[in-house]
Amino acid sequence: MKPAFSVIFLTTLIGAGQGLFLALFGADLWAPPSARADLSALLVHGSALSLLLCAAGLIASFFHLGHPERAWRAAAMWRTSWLSREVIALPLFMATVAAYGLLHYVEAGSTQASHALGWVGVALCLTLFVCTAMVYASIRFLQEWASPLTLLNYLLLGCASGLTLATAVAAVQLQALQTPYALAALVLTFAGLLNRVASLARNARLVPKSTLQSAIGIKHPRIVQKAQGFMGGSFNTRAFFHGKGLRWVAGVKWFFLMFAFPVPMLLLAVGLSTDSGASLWAAFVLQYAGLLAERWFFFAQARHPQNLYYQAAS
More confident residue, 306 or 105: 105
Q: Read off the pLDDT band of 130 (50, 70, 90).
A: very high
Determine the distance from the C-alpha atom of residue 9 to the mean position of all C-alpha atoms in its chain, rounded to a whole number.
8
Q: What is the pLDDT of residues 77-89, one digit of tens each?
A: 888 899 999 999 9
Indicate the pTM of the whole model: 0.91
Would you say residue 166 has pLDDT above 90? yes
Would you say residue 76 has pLDDT above 70? yes
Q: What is the pLDDT of residues 131-160, one digit of tens each?
A: 999 999 999 989 999 999 999 999 999 999
Rg of the chain (C-alpha set): 22
Would you say residue 308 has pLDDT above 90? no
Q: Read off the pLDDT band of 314 (50, 70, 90).
A: very low
Q: pLDDT at position 228, please? A: 62
Work out the average pLDDT over 294-314. Answer: 78
Q: pLDDT at position 178, please? A: 93
Lowest mean pLDDT segment, chosen from 25-29, 103-107, 189-193: 103-107
Q: pLDDT at position 165, please? A: 98
Cα 12 to Cα 7, 25, 113, 137, 235: the distances in Å are: 8, 20, 30, 17, 27
Domains of the chain: 5-308 (1.20.1630.10)
Q: What is the pLDDT of residues 15-69, one digit of tens each?
A: 999 999 999 999 999 877 666 777 888 999 999 999 999 999 999 988 877 777 6
Give, in degrees to the nearest 5, the angle at Cα 294 between 290 and 298. Answer: 170
